[in-house]
DNA sequence: GCCGGGCCTGTGGTCAGACCACAGGGTACC
DNA sequence: GGTACCCTGTGGTCTGACCACAGGCCCGGC
């Protein structure tokens, strides 16, 4: 197992070898969040590949949210390991939706089940931290917001609920799901005739969800968040179910 | 909508420009699954960037499961758009787990909630297609399987249930979750003293889940799949809850 | 006329070298 | 002692070149 040169002898893709090398380093604990990767030129000579191949692997890691690169010099320069899955998940969902790999309906359905679960969990928790969510709701009370700003705060509110649940996988997934249908949700607001009324309803529904969580009423929390999300998408859906 | 360059008028990263160009093409319908992308050199001259930058973008798309590249000539050569989110999700989850961005516990918890939902949905469905799942269970009845083979079939069974639910997002996510903890699950089987007994129990639990689905008993289906998964991970967990 | 092997072309895959912008740190000058 | 400069090393990009590959084409033999 200590020899990774033998396996690489039949490795057709150089950039994949770099990726596997770094994954191994991560699994072995040789690299951890906060650490700086060796320079691109160093990695290239160490692994016996060209710098372009190293860069392709690093690009993948960057998009996946594994590293953050910074030019220049000093302690903040170079490629630094971060583990922020939200960005990678968002890119993945967004592109898959663009390529028709993910139907919007499936995205919404997954959002529904995840958020209902989160809401139920929070209601069952002893003392969930809803501070961030409440501050976002306060910010959304500003009636001077345009729809884009309102929807951005709405997304942040739903994400804050996921973060309060403490499950990082669910949080990242929900961030990705939201990104995947962000364009859809934004384009859909134009379909709403009475935006003032709709936004007022959304505000009230948000408060209702928080109230149910605070009251430790898991069933109500689940129902309310479910109806809240499905109601909005039904409203912006071009033609839900005619026949 | 025609102008999204306003937010970031100047694009410092060339590969990102390529990515955005291709995403736009996908959203506009100029590119669809099955289509062939222009050659790397062509894209480079079209967008006014170097071929390296194009390749970095294509590498990202390949890892994310958006395209499949093939050298040579003919209709199968070049970069072809596919939309297979499973691969990208798997890479993302695997690397995030390696970088400690995703705790194993959160992965398992997410699996639990997704699979419970899937099982409940299938039980509520009128005529779910459980053929693939049943065939996998039959294959798992072979007592000559070694643990790795057994676990691979187990993963395929759970994935087949997700596919039967029809939600592609859930299917891809579950594939990713499974990949993320594949190493963990494989290493954990060594911790099980009585593998024959455990595998027999797992077989019985699988059948029980299918039975509940066929009986349209959503509650039982949810409970059984939940207990099935959490039971296995509790068994391979090194030290569940000592203090 | 038919068939087969070799060349041709275009593809992705990789490498090497060069240049740029950037940012920190050391140094020489004031 | 303070400040402006250069030096160094980083990622970011481009260019050009070569390779392996695979289908299509042409030409020769049968």
**Contact between the CB of B160 and strand D at under 7 Å:** no
Containing A130, the helix (H) or strand (E) segment is none
Pick among 3.40.50.720, 3.90.550.10, 1.10.10.10, 1.10.3720.10: CATH of A5-81: 1.10.10.10
Over range B33-37, report the average pLDDT: 96
pLDDT at site A1? 42
pLDDT-based confidence at A12, cuts 50/70/90? confident
Cβ separation A101–B83 shorter than 8 A:
yes
Count of A-B CB contacts under 8 Å: 153
pLDDT at site B158? 97
pLDDT at site B7? 38
Instruction: Note the residue count of chain B.
Output: 243
pLDDT-based confidence at A8, cuts 50/70/90? very low
Which residue approaches D13 most closely, CA to C1'? B50
pLDDT-based confidence at B77, cuts 50/70/90? very high
pLDDT at site A190? 83
CB contact set of B203 (below 8 Å; sequence gap of 6+): B137, B140, B141
- Fold agreement between B14-81 and B86-236: no
Task: Report the C-alpha gap between B37 and B42 in whole angstroms.
Answer: 10
Task: Indicate the burial class of A1 (C-beta count within 10 angstroms; 0-12, 13-18, 19 or more).
Answer: exposed
For residue A158, give the nearest of A102, A97, A219, A229 by alpha carbon.
A229
Which tens digits make up the pLDDT trace of B168-199?
A: 999 999 999 999 999 999 888 888 888 899 99
Over range B8-33, report the average pLDDT: 88
Whole-Å CA distances, A226 to A50, A136, A168, B74: 51, 19, 21, 50
Over range A85-98, report the average pLDDT: 95
User: Between residues A241 and A121, which one has the greater pLDDT?
Assistant: A121
pLDDT at site B169? 97
Which of A12, A62, A64 should we substitute to test contact with B (largest number of B Cβ atoms within 10 Å)?
A64
**Separation in Å: D12 C1' and B62 CA:** 21
Judge whether residue B242 has pLDDT over 60.
no
Which residues in B lie closer than 8 A to residue A52 (C-beta atoms)? 52, 55
Over range A103-109, report the average pLDDT: 96
3-state SS assignment for residue A147: helix
Mean pLDDT, chain A, whole residue set? 92
Judge whether residue B106 has pLDDT over 80.
yes
Superfamily of B86-236 according to CATH: GntR ligand-binding domain-like (1.20.120.530)
- B14-81 classified as CATH 1.10.760.10: no
User: Between residues A240 and A209, which one has the greater pLDDT?
Assistant: A209
**Contact between the CB of B20 and strand D at under 7 Å:** no
pLDDT at site A192? 87
Which tens digits make up the pLDDT trace of A153-192?
A: 999 999 999 999 999 999 999 999 999 999 999 888 888 8
Domain boundaries, chain B: 14-81, 86-236
On strand D, nucleotides with any atom < 7 Å from a protein CB are: 8-17, 20-24
* Three-class secondary structure assignment of chain B: CCCCCCCCCCCCCHHHHHHHHHHHHHHCCCCCCCCECCCHHHHHHHHCCCHHHHHHHHHHHHHCCCEEEECCCCCCCEEEECCCHHHHHHHHHHHHHHCCCCCHHHHHHHHHHHHHHHHHHHHHCCCCCCHHHHHHHHHHCCCCCCHHHHHHHHHHHHHHHHHHHCCHHHHHHHHHHHHHCHHHHHHHHHHCCCHHHHHHHHHHHHHHHHHHHHCCCHHHHHHHHHHHHHHHHHHHCCCCCCC
User: Between residues A2 and A138, which one has the greater pLDDT?
Assistant: A138
Judge whether residue A133 has pLDDT over 90.
yes
Answer for the pair A28, A67: CB distance below 8 angstroms, yes or no.
no
pLDDT-based confidence at A11, cuts 50/70/90? low
Would you put residue B17 in left (φ > 0), alpha (ψ -120 to 50) or beta? alpha
Min distance B139 CA to chain A CA atoms (Å): 30
Cβ separation A101–B33 shorter than 8 A:
yes
């Amino acid at each position: 197992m200590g020899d990774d040169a033998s396996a690489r002898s039949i490795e057709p893709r150089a950039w994949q070898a770099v990726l596997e090398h770094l994954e191994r380093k991560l699994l072995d604990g040789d690299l951890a969040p906060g650490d700086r990767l060796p320079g691109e030129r160093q990695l290239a000579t160490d692994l016996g590949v060209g710098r372009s191949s190293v860069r392709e692997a690093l690009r993948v890691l960057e998009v996946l949210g594994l590293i953050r690169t910074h030019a220049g010099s000093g302690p903040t320069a170079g490629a630094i390991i971060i583990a922020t899955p939200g960005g990678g998940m968002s890119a993945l969902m967004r592109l898959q939706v663009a390529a028709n790999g993910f139907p919007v309906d499936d995205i919404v359905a997954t959002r529904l089940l995840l958020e209902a679960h989160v809401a139920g969990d929070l209601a069952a928790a002893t003392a969930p931290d809803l501070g961030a969510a409440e501050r976002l709701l306060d910010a959304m009370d500003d009636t001077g917001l345009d729809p884009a700003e309102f929807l951005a705060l709405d997304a942040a509110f739903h994400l804050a609920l996921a973060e309060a649940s403490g499950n990082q996988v669910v949080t990242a997934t929900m961030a990705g799901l939201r990104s995947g249908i962000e364009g859809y949700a934004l384009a859909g607001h134009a379909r709403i005739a009475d935006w003032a009324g709709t936004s007022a309803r959304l505000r009230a529904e948000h408060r209702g969800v928080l109230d149910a969580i605070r009251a430790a009423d898991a069933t109500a929390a689940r129902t309310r968040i479910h109806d809240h999300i499905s109601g909005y998408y039904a409203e912006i859906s071009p033609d839900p179910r005619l026949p």
